[in-house]
A and B are shown apart, each in its own frame.
Chain A
Amino acid sequence: MKRNPITLVTAGILALIFALMLFTFQVRQTEIAVVTTFGKFSRDITAPGFNWRLPWPIQRIYKFDNRIQNFEKKFEQTTTHDAINILITVYAGWRVVNPRLYLESLNGDSVKAEQTLEPLIRNAKNGVISQYRFGELISTNQADLKFDQIETNMLATVRPAASSTYGIEVAFVGIKQVGLPESITTKVFDRMKAERQTRVKQYQTDGEKAARIIRAEADSQANQIMADAKAKVIEITGNAEARASEYYKVLDQNPELANFLFQRNALEQSLKEKATLILDQQTPPFNMMGGQGAGITHSSPLK
């Protein structure tokens, strides 16, 4: 019977691939593996590379990621030493260090591993946080903060149990988020608003105060200027009076004439406004109306 060479080649290749799949396996750089024979632990493989095996179901290979895996859980409410409620999220990094123990205790399931680690981490978180005051979590003073110490204590609480029971090394624990419950958040908002209102009042009062001071200073300065000016006026007027009186000394040479001139000026000034004069014939020059000769008079009102 003639056999088709293509069929033979294909069958040979397929048989080789199948055999390799059955009898070999690879472990990547990022993996560690456990080999079991009929369900019993045979060996673990921590180095990457090519390995031989017996086919399933005689031997089974369990591969695990040997890199650090992260997880975080709920934003959970807890209480500080000074009885302040806070919300806190913690994250952790873990990796498989004992693959056999990991397989036996957690069935090699990373989801189950994280579910198992969660209560450990929550317990450590709540326990450690309750030993510290709120001011050691939040403060403007660097010396008061105990963030590193809190994380170190949480890690120290979790690590031994995880390693000895589950074959897991918890590499780090960190605080990702800190918050306040909603009821307290509302109060913080109220306080922030009140603090802002204080500033509003302060600015308004400062503005009013500064404005009033400036106005008062302006008034004061203006009054000072006017007062100075008036003093100057008085001085100038006095000087003028003094200088004028020098000139008026000449009046002493003929007081009679001076008085006459003063009276004449007074008469002139007093009749400038609306006036009514009732005169008789004795008053010059109306005395001329009584038949007396022009320019002949016997008396004068100014005499």
Chain B
Amino acid sequence: MDRNILKTGIINLVALLAIAVASQFVAQFSGCLTAQISVFYLTVGVLVAAVSAFQMRLANRERIEQLELSELKRSASAAALFDSTEAELYPARRAREQFDRFFVPGFALLLLILLGLAVYVSWPWTGKSLGPQIPKATITMALTALFSLILFLLGKYSAGVARLEGQRLLQPSASALLMGSVCCLLITLAEAAAWFGFPLVDRWTSRLLILILGLVALEMAVSLILEIYRPRVKGQATRLLYESRLIGLLGQPGGLITTAAQALDYQFGFKVSETWFYQFLEKALAWLILLQLGVLALSTTIVIVEPNEQALLERLGKPVAGRNVLESGLHFKWLWPIDIAYKYSTREVHTFYVGFVPDPEADKERLLLWTRPHYEQEFNLLVASRETVASSSTSPQTDQAVPVNLLAVNIPIQYQIRDLVSWAYQHSNGADLLDKIANREVVRYLVNVDIEAIMTTGRLKAADAIRERIQAQVDQNKLGVEILFVGLQSIHPPVAVAPAYEEVIGALQEKETNILGAQAYWIEKIPLAYADATNLVTRAKSDGLTKVTTAAADAGQFRNQMLAYSASPQVFRQRSYLETLVQAVRPARKYVLATTNTTEIIWLNLEDKLRTDLLDVTVPKPR
């Protein structure tokens, strides 16, 4: 019998290996993501089956060794043999014990690491997969269905054998076979779903398998930890740590209760499965699950539409007459898939951007300058120019004089869905079309407007005009949208040209500075001129008045002097002369030559005396 389970174990190993290799080819052939993840399950199954087969071989050797020793014990002539140590007597048992003690936990740890890595590496694949290739789906389905059948039959047989006394080493490979069968069935279903137009099923199935891989890894980690604290009952066989209960459960869902009971009994060391609660749960579980499924089905008859939403209700694909649009609140409908409600966020104000791609990091900046890029991407749009540039070039390929300007325009556009039926039923991607229409209208507006106008006085007018144009196009295309706001939040020359624009502003300021300087000169010059003029005139008036007054006084004095003079001309003259002389010559140096009738020559040095040295400086008196 033992030889038979070893043989079965090896057959299981070979079957798993062959189907794993074949599944790898199928996965590459079909592009099915579920198949790729299943190959990993099968590979893990191969490893588990190989270790399980090796362990069976050790157990087999131990049994033979036990038989041989029992035979020897009965032979008295071999008494010396019993003096040997136990290790020498039971090498096969010792080898099996060493295997159980070191290799099995080590292998379980290795599996844990492999599973963890598989989850980490394979999860990102699921987002990139293009889905199964529809034309190859039929072959894939046929092959995987066959694999599933083979694995199921082998697995079911092995699981049956493993339940027999002393055959439990076959259980891990049986579980691997049955799980492999489930995986192959899932591949078939995913391919079928893709065939029927549901390619996303493949992605979700593969994600489910990866999730189960993660759970198996978690289970193994917990098992390894719990194994340390498990109470050891003498004579009780130790559990195979590399065998996953979850895999066993998924491979044989019918054994859910049994598996759970075995796990509890094993872990707590007494018969948890004999308690009343456990037995009640076992009996009522089917009802509970059915009840839950019923509740799940009933839950599809209720639709709750949120305040910002509306929903389209369809019955067997057709809009339900009279209540095809559900407003916010609670609504009842038939079971899925008879009635299906599709919710849309209609009352929410949506925003998109024309001319730039917002950069969340740059949005934190408090200063936006033309000379620095302030969005992740800014597109330069063509703007017409009134100036005409004559192209004199003979080679247009190398030198094209284009009478246009480039402008960076940042326009946020906000809209709301007003007519849900049009929005949902007219266009497969209304938001994308709206973006295209908005871009078109902005481009069309800019190619027909002068750069100076759009950057200055025409700015507000431009925003209104663009909004009206977009709304007109939206209505024409029956998008069911109202454009709420179009903002020209920023219009500026491209970053490369912005410094030149700033220079113009600088030059304008310079011009104003020059003019203001000249005006300051004027303001200073003219009043001063008025002041000088007034001064001159005033002084002239004053001088004139002085002159007239003096003349009047002189005339009066002269009349008086005439009286004195006519009284005694000689005396008057002499007196007047001497009085004047006394006053006049007072400050003058005077030399009087008193000698008369001489022939002497008198030299008078009339030069001013020069200062000879510093000692001649008159020092002021101290105060």
Tell whether A15 is near chain B: CB-to-CB under 8 Å.
Answer: no
Which residues of chain B from 579 to 612 have a CB within 8 Å of any chain A CB?
580-581, 583-585, 587-594, 596, 604, 606
A196-B287 contact given A68-B428, A212-B518, CB 8 Å threshold:
no
Q: Is the CB of A210 within 8 A of B533?
A: no
Min distance, Cβ B292 to any Cβ of chain A, angstroms:
13
The segment out of A97-105, A123-131, A157-165, A239-247 that lies at the interface is: A239-247
Min distance, Cβ A136 to any Cβ of chain B, angstroms:
10
Tell whether B282 is near chain A: CB-to-CB under 8 Å.
Answer: no
Tell whether A214 is near chain B: CB-to-CB under 8 Å.
Answer: yes
Min distance, Cβ A213 to any Cβ of chain B, angstroms:
8
Residues of B contacting A68 with CB < 8 Å?
Answer: 426-428, 433, 477
Q: Is the CB of A279 within 8 A of B429?
A: no
The segment out of B221-229, B261-269, B435-443 that lies at the interface is: B435-443
Which residues of chain B from 46 to 97 have a CB within 8 Å of any chain A CB?
none
Tell whether B233 is near chain A: CB-to-CB under 8 Å.
Answer: no
Q: Is the CB of A72 within 8 A of B436?
A: yes
Min distance, Cβ B129 to any Cβ of chain A, angstroms:
15
Among B337, B506, B526, B578, point to the contact of A221 (Cβ < 8 A).
Answer: B526
Q: Is the CB of A26 within 8 A of B337?
A: yes
A300-B573 contact given A188-B406, A280-B593, CB 8 Å threshold:
yes
Among B497, B558, B592, point to the contact of A289 (Cβ < 8 A).
Answer: B592
Q: Count contacts between A and B, CB distance < 8 Å.
A: 358
Tell whether B274 is near chain A: CB-to-CB under 8 Å.
Answer: no
A215 to B515, CA, bound (A): 9
The segment out of B9-17, B362-370, B411-419, B544-552 that lies at the interface is: B544-552
A214 to B526, CA, bound (A): 11
A246 to B552, CA, bound (A): 9
Tell whether B121 is near chain A: CB-to-CB under 8 Å.
Answer: no
Residues of B contacting A212 with CB < 8 Å?
Answer: 518
Q: Is the CB of B592 within 8 A of A286?
A: yes
Tell whether A28 is near chain B: CB-to-CB under 8 Å.
Answer: yes
Min distance, Cβ B81 to any Cβ of chain A, angstroms:
59
A264 to B528, CA, bound (A): 43
Tell whether A191 is near chain B: CB-to-CB under 8 Å.
Answer: yes
Q: Is the CB of A271 within 8 A of B547?
A: no
A286 to B582, CA, bound (A): 12
Q: Is the CB of B286 within 8 A of A50?
A: no
Min distance, Cβ B419 to any Cβ of chain A, angstroms:
14
Residue ID in chain B nearest A75 by CB atoms = B379
Min distance, Cβ B491 to any Cβ of chain A, angstroms:
14
A276-B588 contact given A203-B504, A247-B548, CB 8 Å threshold:
yes
Which residues of chain A from 135 to 191 have a CB within 8 Å of any chain B CB?
137-140, 142, 145, 147, 172, 174-180, 184-185, 187-189, 191
Interface size on A, residues (CB 8 A): 130
Interface of B is mostly: helix
A189 to B264, CA, bound (A): 78
A84 to B399, CA, bound (A): 10
Q: Is the CB of A277 within 8 A of B585?
A: yes
Q: Is the CB of B497 within 8 A of A248?
A: no
Among B195, B286, B529, B569, point to the contact of A226 (Cβ < 8 A).
Answer: B529
Q: Is the CB of A218 within 8 A of B522?
A: yes
Tell whether B543 is near chain A: CB-to-CB under 8 Å.
Answer: yes
Among A4, A49, A179, point to the contact of B316 (Cβ < 8 A).
Answer: A49
Q: Is the CB of B447 within 8 A of A139?
A: yes
Residue ID in chain A nearest B595 by CB atoms = A281
Tell whether B568 is near chain A: CB-to-CB under 8 Å.
Answer: no
Tell whether B165 is near chain A: CB-to-CB under 8 Å.
Answer: no
A139-B547 contact given A277-B588, A281-B593, CB 8 Å threshold:
no
Tell whether B277 is near chain A: CB-to-CB under 8 Å.
Answer: no
Which residues of chain B from 526 to 540 have a CB within 8 Å of any chain A CB?
526, 528-530, 532-534, 536-537, 539-540
Residues of B contacting A145 with CB < 8 Å?
Answer: 447-448
Q: Is the CB of A172 within 8 A of B540?
A: no
Which residues of chain B from 16 to 44 have a CB within 8 Å of any chain A CB?
none
A137-B439 contact given A29-B425, A188-B404, A280-B593, CB 8 Å threshold:
no
Q: Is the CB of A278 within 8 A of B593?
A: yes
Residue ID in chain B nearest A206 by CB atoms = B511
Tell whether B251 is near chain A: CB-to-CB under 8 Å.
Answer: no
Among B437, B506, B521, B574, point to the contact of A297 (Cβ < 8 A).
Answer: B574
Q: Is the CB of B577 within 8 A of A301?
A: yes
Residue ID in chain B nearest A172 by CB atoms = B477
A143 to B590, CA, bound (A): 108
The segment out of B104-112, B175-183, B384-392 that lies at the interface is: B384-392
Tell whether B576 is near chain A: CB-to-CB under 8 Å.
Answer: yes
Which residues of chain B from 483 to 514 have a CB within 8 Å of any chain A CB?
493-494, 496-497, 500-501, 503-504, 506-508, 510-514
Residue ID in chain B nearest A214 by CB atoms = B518
A201 to B402, CA, bound (A): 23
Residue ID in chain B nearest A20 by CB atoms = B337
Residues of B contacting A132 with CB < 8 Å?
Answer: none
Q: Is the CB of A192 within 8 A of B521?
A: no
Bitwise, B437-459 to A at CB < 8 A (1) or not (0) is 10110011001111000000000
Tell whether A40 is near chain B: CB-to-CB under 8 Å.
Answer: no
Among A197, A207, A276, A279, point to the contact of B514 (Cβ < 8 A).
Answer: A207
Among B402, B503, B526, B555, point to the contact of A187 (Cβ < 8 A).
Answer: B402
A215-B319 contact given A203-B507, A229-B533, A257-B558, CB 8 Å threshold:
no
Q: Is the CB of B439 within 8 A of A210?
A: no
Q: Is the CB of A138 within 8 A of B396?
A: no
27 A-B pairs in the complex with CB atoms less than 8 angstroms apart: A6-B287, A29-B317, A72-B436, A138-B382, A145-B447, A174-B436, A191-B401, A202-B507, A225-B530, A226-B532, A230-B536, A232-B533, A232-B537, A233-B539, A241-B544, A243-B544, A251-B555, A256-B569, A261-B558, A268-B583, A276-B606, A277-B585, A284-B574, A285-B581, A301-B577, A302-B573, A303-B573
Q: Which residues of A contact B (CB under 8 A)?
A: 4, 6, 9-10, 26-31, 48-50, 56-57, 61-63, 65, 67-70, 72, 82-85, 91, 93, 134, 137-140, 142, 145, 147, 172, 174-180, 184-185, 187-189, 191-193, 195-197, 199-204, 206-208, 210-215, 217-219, 221-223, 225-226, 228-230, 232-234, 236-237, 239-241, 243-251, 253-254, 256-258, 260-261, 264, 267-268, 271-272, 274-281, 284-286, 289-290, 297, 300-303
